[in-house]
Amino acid sequence: MPDMLKMPMVCREMSIVSNSFNEKDNTFEVDFTTGAEVRRYSFWRDEEYFESLSLDPRHVRMERIEKGVAPFLDQHYSSRLIGAVLSGRLEKNRGVAKIKLSSREEVKGIAQDIKDGIRKAVSVGYDVYEYQDISEYDEKGKMKKRKLLAVDWEPIEISSVTMPADPDAKVRSIENYREHEVKVNFLENRNVPKEPEKTKEPEKKEPEVASPGNQEDLQRAKTAGIEEERKRQSEITFACRKAKMTDEFKEKLISSGVSIDQVRAQIIDAWQQDGEKNNVSNHVEMTGQDATVTRKEALKEYLLFRGNPKQYQMTEKAREYRGFTLIDIIKESLENAGVKVRGLDKNEIITRGLQGSSDFPDLLSNVASKTLLDGYQTFPQTFLPYVTWVPVPDFKNVSMVRISEAPQFKKIPENGEMKRGTLKDHGKSWRIYNYGINVGLTRVAMINDDLNAFAQLPFAFGVQANMLESDIFWGIIVDNDAMEDGVALFHANHGNLGTAGAISVTTLSQAYEKFMGQKGIDGVTPLNIPPYNIACPVAQFATAAQYSTPVVNQNANDPTKYNIFGNILKPPTAEARLDAVSRYNWYVFGDARFCPIIAIGTLDGIRGPSLRTSILPGFDGMQIDAIYDVGGTALDYRGVFKNPYAG
């Protein structure tokens, strides 16, 4: 099993790319990593190790760098924002980021120093979530050098520094101390070569010893015991730090040998009896779950409830924060991060809360993400029975290649050879696009505690993303997009355009005949695609419904009074987007399982919009962008029919 350790953010010194400063837009590039080996010290294991960073794109969480949401700071002081990371990329042996400096007057001196080559160094702060042990062992199984490779890590921010940072540096500042859990796959937790056992000389009588298998069991038990004790001490240290107990109290617990559950009980007792002496926070929750996670969940519930009390409810854990304003929540987040807020005015509290000193921006982002997703999932969509969802890797043109129907079986003569069939394909080039909208929570809105609009707008954005998918689908239908052969989706050449007429037994019979008469891509194979249902403007819904109900009238000999399609067609689909183009045109769709009709593609197959948050230079507050990468195309004309009825 891997070890789970607690670690703060770490940093490394890197350099500005020579001659990369662009005076026109105040930008330059930096090498924020080369993955080089750096010596570190592990407090949790009380040992020295050498850290390397993997540059495999699968191992680096580049979202903050690539999407331009990471800050560029002055020195190690997280409260002084001097620019932003615009973009980034991973190359073969390095990571590169593009930085834009603020145009504020107080930043011009720093810009000049960078331009003149006086400030040459930068320091990147990053979080590691998983290490792989790649330590070096000698042939006897003894470790020569502890080496850990970060196989899941994330660059968080970049700072300009006048003096190169200590490569062994740990925490950027007390305001940026953000402990998080790290998984480490230590080699000693797996099968490590052991020193071969010495063979006993037969002529000597030795006392009875355990078998080699038992010796290995004892060794494993010993190692497990050591690791268990290290884990216990780590958990005690973490619990005491979160509860703000003294070092003397912590050492006493470690030396006493008590379990972590007993530790929690003793911390609660000490907190109740002598809270001031041990500097215990009034908001500590000593449960099996990290108190920070509990606090975040409670605040998230409270903010959701405040934004829309009709839709969201509060549990008991969130009731502690009833009556909190946004300023109160920012102060809570800052104090939890170890930042003293006594003596700060509202503007200073907001500035600290937005510029990396707390988890307040993440909290707002989580609330907005929740309401955005709820909005996206709220509204019904009429196109779902007919659509094929497709994952798309990027924004380049892609071709949806559809293989023709399998070749027909051929009779094999006695002692004869099997004939080889052929396959044909067709495809259409198309792409997805990037859509987006944003909302800003300004400093003024925070001071005025104006949360309702902020909570409701992401919900509305989610609804718009839902409607965007419907716009794409029905837009392809009403715009009669061209297929890969250059002919419109609905065309006589495609055999899916009927003679104009109202919905009736006669016009439905024509549609049925054309559906069943469609041939495969090979032009030979009959497809026999059964019609699924009628899709029509809302104005035609009542008529369409009459032909989709399995009701038999008494006069069964009169075809105008006998619903022959009642057991064939599903209930009709009424779509208001069709009314906006024509109140009379109607369509018949086939079952998309047998013949894919229209594809909607999303980036990497992720349905629904996503959020990104940013603190932009020149914007007095926090901006949240809702983005959705989506597009669509007509795949096949043989699964849909149009009647151009004009009323």
Is the pLDDT assigned to residue 326 strictly greater than 90? Answer: no
Quickly tell me which residue has 């969802």 as its tokens: 389
Is the pLDDT assigned to residue 5 strictly greater than 70? Answer: no
Tens of pLDDT, residue by residue over 495-529, are 999 999 999 989 999 999 998 889 887 777 888 88
What is the Rg, in whole angstroms, of the alpha carbon atoms belonging to the chain? Answer: 33
pTM over 0.75? The answer is: no
Burial of 572 (0-12, 13-18, 19+ CB in 10 A): buried
Residues contacting 13, CB < 8 A, separation 6+: 121, 122, 123, 161, 164, 165, 167
Burial profile 270-283: b = 16 or more Cβ within 10 angstroms, e = fewer: bbeeeeeebebeee
Task: Return the bridge partners of 437, or none.
Answer: 626
Lowest mean pLDDT among 84-98, 117-131, 242-256: 242-256
Tens of pLDDT, residue by residue over 422-469, are 555 556 788 999 999 887 777 787 887 766 666 677 888 899 999 999
Which of residues 94 and 427 earns the better pLDDT score? 94
pLDDT at position 205? 43
Lowest mean pLDDT among 114-128, 279-293, 595-609: 279-293
Is the pLDDT assigned to residue 298 strictly greater than 80? Answer: yes
CB contact at 8 A, 270 and 280:
yes
Torsion of CA 302, 307, 311, 317, to 10 degrees: 0
Give φ, ψ of 311 to 5 degrees.
Answer: -100, -35
CB contact at 8 A, 96 and 79:
no
- SS3 helix, strand, coil % of the chain, rounded to 5? 35, 25, 40
Per-residue confidence band for 342, with pLDDT thresholds at 50, 70 and 90: confident
pLDDT at position 383? 94
Tens of pLDDT, residue by residue over 27-82, are 988 888 888 888 876 655 667 888 899 988 888 999 888 887 788 887 644 457 88
Tens of pLDDT, residue by residue over 299-318, are 888 888 877 777 788 888 88
Distances (CA, A) of 468 to 256, 428, 438, 612, 647: 63, 22, 16, 19, 29
Instruction: State how far the Cα of 605 lies from the Cα of 578, in Å rounded to an integer.
Output: 28
Tens of pLDDT, residue by residue over 524-580, are 788 888 889 999 999 999 999 988 876 655 444 555 566 778 888 899 999 999 999
pLDDT at position 632? 94
pLDDT at position 187? 62
Which of residues 404 and 193 earns the better pLDDT score? 404
Tens of pLDDT, residue by residue over 476-491, are 999 998 888 889 999 9
Torsion of CA 260, 261, 266, 271, to 10 degrees: 100
Per-residue confidence band for 219, with pLDDT thresholds at 50, 70 and 90: low
pLDDT at position 209? 42
Which of residues 103 and 8 earns the better pLDDT score? 103
Q: Which of 308, 305, 332, 331 is nearest to 316 (CA)?
A: 305
DSSP for 253-319?
A: HHHHT--HHHHHHHHHHHHHHHTTTTT--TT---SSS-HHHHHHHHHHHHHHHHH-TTT----GGGG
CB contact at 8 A, 428 and 402:
no
Q: What angle do CA 195, 199, 205 make, to 5 degrees?
A: 135
Mean pLDDT of 313-342: 82
Burial of 551 (0-12, 13-18, 19+ CB in 10 A): exposed
Nearest-10 crossing angle of helices 360-378, 452-479 = 40
Question: What is the enclosing helix (H) or strand (E) of 479?
Answer: helix 452-479
Distances (CA, A) of 343 to 354, 589, 621: 18, 68, 21
Per-residue confidence band for 172, with pLDDT thresholds at 50, 70 and 90: very low
